[in-house]
Amino acid sequence: MEKDIFLVGQGLTRFGEHWDRSLLNLMDEATEAALKNSGLNALDVDLVIVANMLGERTNNQAHLGALASALLPHHPPALRIESACGSGAMALHTAAAYLESKRAETVLVIGVEKMTDVSVDEVSAALMGAADSELDAPSGLTFPGIFGLITQRYMHEYGLTREQLSLVSAVHHRQGKENPFAQFRFDVSPEKVTASPMVADPLRLLDCSPVSDGAAVCILSTTHRSELRLAASQIASDSVSITERASITSFSATRDAMQRALKEAEIDREEIRALETHDCFSMAAIINMEDLGFAEPGEGISVYERIHAGDYPTFVNKSGGLKSCGHPVAATGIKQMIDIAKQLGASKEQYGLAHNFGGACASCGIHILENLDASS
């Protein structure tokens, strides 16, 4: 980090089906909450960055930077970032670059997605924009299908069973129950996961994060300070199509970004005490633990087995993850940052990490937050 960047404000809407709120309404609500939380004046914002994936297809709306800028009385400069489901982290990374280069001093980063204005078929087709339109989509594959393929292969390589896989969503729901901003705040037993309707063999309905509306905002600044400092911001890429990967049961973009993020923050992974990972599907949650280095290949499930059994420090996806919170695609990366900020504030621990990716981890963004108020 070339400069000290602080998280000075955060705000979000509840994630869910918001029939009477538009894309703009959602951005407005989260922005207002964040400004209030920061104690800053709207006029302090000198750049707005909007993270959004589907605006053109689900809302007939491009040009979201300009649209969001108009929410503030002085129409600050604004731009929109897209990196599929990893748009949130990508937007934070862009903000960090602007702040480090001194082109801006206080950046309002909005992640927003409004997915419920179109049919399920249309959303499914739009989400396939995160995959390769020439190599992946023509066969009729959907995103659950891509992860179904990954899960089938993973089970073949490592012997993961259906019963084990069901623990993941059960854990996420149990933890999300305590999160007032989560879309689903109820328990789901592993048996219920196993019995839920098949979506893409072997993935079932309750293995998949839902379609949601929502917005989340972070305000990052170099001139205003807080106890939360951005210790690392790293992004990485991989081939979009799984047909061009050497392995489909491990994501190199996560491994790359993680290695560089730890190096930038100058910490070891053992020091991370708040972790939000990108569990678009239960299988992803397991692979994430391995790629982030918290488990050996093939043993990612052991983390969830131990959390389920109650003997693992529950700092993994304490928010409930994408499964329980909901996944308004581009808002997730921002929400994760807010979650680790809250968790560090409550636990007084020092380091937290947000892991966000797009598609089948063709783009990955990792952010590490340091709590300067931590009790050492």
Partner 1 sequence: MSSPSIIHRAQKKRASKLQAGTVLSFTVLAHPPARFGKRPRQIGLIQLEDGSSVLAPLLAERPFIGQRVHARMRLSHVTEEKLRVYEVSYEALSEVPAIMEKTFPGYILALTGPSGVGKTTVSRMLVQMFSDVAVNVPIVTTRKEKPGDEGEYVYAPTTEFDEWKRGGLLVAATDIPSRGEHRQYGYRRADFEAIWKEGKLPVVITEMHLLKDLANTFGRRSILSFGLLPPGKSKRAKLSQLLHRLRKRGRETEAHIQDRLKNAERDLAFFKERSDLFDHVVVNKDLNVVIRSMQKRIPGLSQA
Nearer to partner 1, 1 or 125 (CB): 125
Size of the site for partner 1 (CB under 8 A): 32
> Of residues 109, 200, 228, 362, which one binds partner 1 by CB under 8 A?
200
Q: Does 161 bind partner 1 (CB under 8 A)?
A: no
Is residue 45 within 8 Å of 31, Cβ to Cβ?
no
Closest CA to 216 of 335, 329, 113, 82: 335
Task: State which of residues 26, 141, 253, 274 lies at the interface with partner 1 (CB under 8 A).
Answer: 141
Helices (H), 177-281: 190-195, 252-265
Q: How far is the CB of 138 from partner 1 (least distance, A)?
A: 6
| Whole-angstrom distance, CA of residue 254 vs CA of residue 278 | 10
Residue among 167, 181, 266 nearest 11 (CA):
181
Smaller CB distance to partner 1: residue 283 or 325? 283
Q: Does 326 bind partner 1 (CB under 8 A)?
A: no
| 108 touches partner 1 (CB under 8 A) | no
CA dist 260 and 199 (Å) reads 36
Q: Is 126 in the site for partner 1 (CB under 8 A)?
A: no
Q: Report the Cα–Cα distance between both ends of the chain, in Å, rounded.
A: 22
CA distance 181 to 133: 34
Name the minimum Å distance from CB 353 to partner 1. 30
Using rule CB under 8 A, residue 124 touches partner 1: yes
> Applying CB under 8 A, does 148 fall inside the site for partner 1?
yes
Q: Give the three-class secondary structure for 208.
A: strand
Q: Whole-number minimum distance, CB 200 to partner 1, in Å?
A: 5
Task: Identify any residues that bridge with 6 across adjacent strands, giving them in sequence order.
Answer: 221, 229
Which of residues 166 and 336 has its CB atom nearest to partner 1 in the complex? 166
Q: Please identify which residue in the block is written with the tokens 């329980």.
A: 324
The yes or no reply on residue 248 touching partner 1 (CB under 8 A) is yes
308 is catalytic: no
Stretch that binds partner 1, among 109-117, 142-150, 214-222, 330-338 (CB under 8 A): 142-150
361 part of the active site = no
Which of 85, 208, 218, 361 is labelled catalytic?
A: 85
Nearest 5°: phi and psi at 253? -65, -40
79 and 50 in contact (C-beta within 8 Å)? Answer: yes
Query: Which residue among 93, 172, 308, 327 is the active-site one?
Result: 327
Pick the piece of the chain touching partner 1 (CB under 8 A) from 33-41, 106-114, 149-157, 260-268. 149-157
Closest CB 209 distance from partner 1, rounded Å: 17
Of positions 2, 163, 187, 244, contacts partner 1 by CB under 8 A: 244
Q: Work out the angle between the directed axes of helices 332-347 and 87-100 (0-180°, nearest 10).
A: 70
Sign of CA dihedral 179, 185, 187, 193: negative
* Residue 210 is a binding residue for partner 1 (CB under 8 A): no
- When asked if residue 139 is in the footprint of partner 1 (CB under 8 A), the reply is yes
Please state, in angstroms and rounded to a whole number, the distance separating the CA atoms of residues 357 and 83.
8
Q: Is 22 helix (H, G, I), strand (E, B) or coil?
A: coil
DSSP code at position 226 = -
Q: How far is the CB of 280 from partner 1 (least distance, A)?
A: 15
19, 20, 41, 138: which one binds partner 1 (CB under 8 A): 138
Pairing of strands 106-113, 47-51: parallel
Binding of residue 266 to partner 1 (CB under 8 A): no
Copy the structure tokens of residue 210: 């839902």
Q: Which residues of this chain interact with partner 1, rule CB under 8 A?
A: 121, 124-125, 134-136, 138-142, 144-145, 148-153, 156, 197-203, 241-244, 248
Catalytic residue set: 85, 327
